Amino acid sequence: MVENQMKNWEHLCQQFPKEITGIYTLHGGDARRYLPYPANHVIYSPPYSVNISRGGKQVAAMGAESGTFVGEYGQDRAQLSRLSYFNLVIAMKEIYRGLYQSLPVGGFCCTITKDSVNTKEAKYRGYGGIEPYSADTIKICHEVGFDFYRLYQRDAKPSLRLQIAWSQNPGIPHVQTEEIIIMAKNK
């Protein structure tokens, strides 16, 4: 995954050479092992829950069909993606606390999240089969000290296979957006 992020960063630097200035560092791996890390601003891509990490070739094919890379997370026992959704959110709070401690007052944290479909677990908690990852991210960021700054939504185009699954199984919840969440450290 880090290789893809590096390619994206290089592409942005080529497309916007005058706008992208300063020093940047790209870290990969378990953020709990190196946070806090001094930075003026951070862009963070959190792991997703088990329903993506164990998707295998079928989920990767669906992702490729929609123009999205879906790599399988590693098999290390410390992988957050292997946790239940509840435990993932708890572990993410530790990471957002580390990101908060990394920033000076006036720094921003940008993260890109997407709610996920988990009909087996979420329906018992009253979410209709959707894990509210974006709302939970905003909540835990606020709990560690961040102030909400801005939220953007963008279309997360579903793959053709997912569109067919939706048409054949009307009860499957739809998640069609991902959220770009910007939090500020104001104190």
Residue 158: give its domain's CATH number.
3.40.50.150
The verdict on residue 162 lying in a domain is yes
pLDDT of res. 41: 92
SS3 83: coil
pLDDT of 169 above 80 = no
Hunting for tokens 């930075």 — which residue is that? 39
Q: What is the Cβ-side half-sphere exposure of residue 55, based on CA atoms within 13 angstroms?
A: 20
Residues 6+ apart with CB under 8 A from 184: 106, 107, 108, 109, 146, 147, 148, 149
pLDDT for res 40: 93
Does residue 165 belong to any structural domain of this protein? yes
Q: pLDDT tens across 37-54, in order?
A: 999 999 887 876 544 444
Q: How many domains does the chain have?
A: 1
pLDDT confidence of residue 50: 47
Indicate the range of 6-15, 72-81, 91-100 predicted with least confidence. 72-81
Q: What is the pTM of this model?
A: 0.74
Among candidate residues 83, 92, 74, 184, the one with its CA nearest the CA of residue 133: 92
Q: 110-122: per-residue pLDDT in tens?
A: 998 887 766 555 5
Q: Which two tokens stand for residue 81?
A: 């993606």
pLDDT at position 131 is: 78
In a domain, 51, yes or no: yes
User: Between residues 40 and 129, which one has the greater pLDDT?
Assistant: 40
Mean pLDDT value of segment 124-145: 82
More confident residue, 141 or 157: 141
Residue 89 in domain: yes
* Range of the structural domain that residue 117 is part of: 27-184
Most confident of 14-23, 36-45, 76-85: 36-45
Residue 21 lies in a domain: no
Query: Cα–Cα distance between 184 and 187 in angstroms, integer?
Result: 9
Q: Is 153 a domain residue?
A: yes
Please state at what angle helix 133-144 crosses helix 85-102, rounded to 10 degrees: 40
Residue 10 lies in a domain: no
The answer to whether residue 83 is domain-embedded is: yes
Mean pLDDT confidence for 141-159: 89
Strands (E), 119-161: 130-131, 147-155
